[in-house]
Amino acid sequence: MTTAVESGRTADVIVIGAGAVGAATAYFAARAGLRVTVLDSGPLAGGTSSACEGNILVSDKEAGPELDLSLYSQKIWREDLAEFADLFEFESKGGLVVAASERSAQSLHDLTERQRASGIQVTNVPANSLTDYEPHISKKLTAGAFYPEDAQVQPMLVVAHLLRLARELGAFVHTRTPVTGFIRKGAAAIGVQTPQGDFHAPSIVNAAGTWAGNIADLAGIHVPVLPRRGFVLVTEPLPVTIHHKVYAAEYVDNVLSSDAGLQTSPVVEGTDSGTVLIGSSRERVGFDRTVSLPVLAALAAKAIDLFPVLEDIKAIRHYHGFRPYCPDHLPVIGPDPRVPGLWHAAGHEGAGIGLSAGTGKLIAQSIIGISTDLPLGSFAPERFEQVLT
């Protein structure tokens, strides 16, 4: 017979969600000495963290709070988590952003100037040097920029290993355990209800990704996290053909756009297994899982424009996921003053893998009550309420 503490029913911290963000939060909280219990309605990494690519990018960020978080998270991946890098296939491969017109070359140049001023390492690459980076790239491009800090991980391995490491530090992980309600003491949240019984902790972290808004609803508050669908095409395995993460300059505009309609821009990268991953599409269609052949065709055509060598290569499969999107494109990270005891770590949109490491460490710092390495004000969960009133 196990006691309540042994099965994790009484903990210091409950983390709702076993995706990349929940796993990083659990790991850093356990490393800080807290007793952690992770609850997920499905399996490990059953949400968007298994339906994405694993890029850790600084290249697609404009100056501002998300770039600050991105640079901080880079540091956490490269320092705090460095000893585990091989476990989750961390590869500092670098990113190459390319422009296909003179106008786009000028915008890319202007972006690199702003980014450099914000501390990003970037080298401008003239059109005739692009093949030094990618021998098979289209000869029709007008300019490029190389970002040596862009890196990649295997997201499902990140989740599995960070949760294993957290368990070695005493954490409990309960899969197939959906949170269905909160236990309250006055305004405060002091536990959660599940079909498998109640769990108690003075600190509860909503790391439910695209479903974080539903968890907020259960707590009686509004946190607007919406799904933004994206497809990825996977090719048959090839000998090493594409060396970096390569994408079109327009991708940055698509990331920052709030348009609900379909946007596609080519994002191409090789993997260790030889397959090439081809993205990216963005559209707000709720949780519609219908496969869209026009979107897949557009992705393939744009990838071939970038790498004509892909024309004769077969796509063997595709998948899609739902990015957790907040209307101002910033995640919600930090304590919620409307429900003492509740923290949020969600809404990282298309960057939740890259930003997970930094987010997890910041949440752990916030819970133990020390000064956070980055100010969390821009990510305040209640900011949308303030806009409404």
**Which residues of this protein are in contact with ligand FAD, per CB under 6 A?**
16-22, 39-42, 46-49, 51-55, 178-179, 207-211, 215, 230, 232, 279, 321-324, 346, 348-354
- Between 20 and 173, whose beta carbon lies closer to ligand FAD? 20
To the nearest whole angstrom, how small is the minimum distance from the Cβ of residue 174 to ligand FAD?
Answer: 9
To the nearest whole angstrom, how small is the minimum distance from the Cβ of residue 359 to ligand FAD?
Answer: 8
Nearest to 214 by CA among 309, 306, 344: 344
Query: Phi then psi for 325, rounded to 5 degrees?
Result: -115, 125
CB 54 within 8 A of CB 158: yes
Angle at the Cα of 61 from the Cα atoms of 127 and 18, rounded to 5 degrees? 125
To the nearest whole angstrom, how small is the minimum distance from the Cβ of residue 216 to ligand FAD?
Answer: 11
| Tokens of residue 363, six digits | 């949440």
Q: Tell me how far the alpha carbon of residue 357 is from its chain's centroid.
A: 10
To the nearest whole angstrom, how small is the minimum distance from the Cβ of residue 59 to ligand FAD?
Answer: 12
- Between 336 and 349, whose beta carbon lies closer to ligand FAD? 349
Q: Give DSSP secondary structure letters for 1-60.
A: ---TTTTTSB-SEEEE--SHHHHHHHHHHHHTT--EEEE-SSSTT-SGGGSS--EE-STT
What is the dihedral sign for C-alpha 251, 252, 255, 260?
A: negative
Q: What is the largest CA-CA distance in the chain?
A: 70
- Between 54 and 191, whose beta carbon lies closer to ligand FAD? 54
To the nearest whole angstrom, how small is the minimum distance from the Cβ of residue 155 to ligand FAD?
Answer: 6
- Give Cβ neighbours of residue 212 (< 8 Å, ≥ 6 apart): 17, 206, 223, 225, 324, 332, 344, 346, 347
- 151 strand-pairing partners: 56
To the nearest whole angstrom, how small is the minimum distance from the Cβ of residue 106 to ligand FAD?
Answer: 27
Residue 292: cis peptide before it, omega within 30 degrees of 0: no
Side-chain half-sphere exposure of 388, counting CA atoms within 13 A: 9
First to last CA, the chain: 51
- Between 256 and 370, whose beta carbon lies closer to ligand FAD? 256
- Give Cβ neighbours of residue 238 (< 8 Å, ≥ 6 apart): 270, 274, 275, 276, 313
- Between 19 and 341, whose beta carbon lies closer to ligand FAD? 19
- Between 26 and 367, whose beta carbon lies closer to ligand FAD? 26
- Between 127 and 234, whose beta carbon lies closer to ligand FAD? 234
- Between 17 and 266, whose beta carbon lies closer to ligand FAD? 17
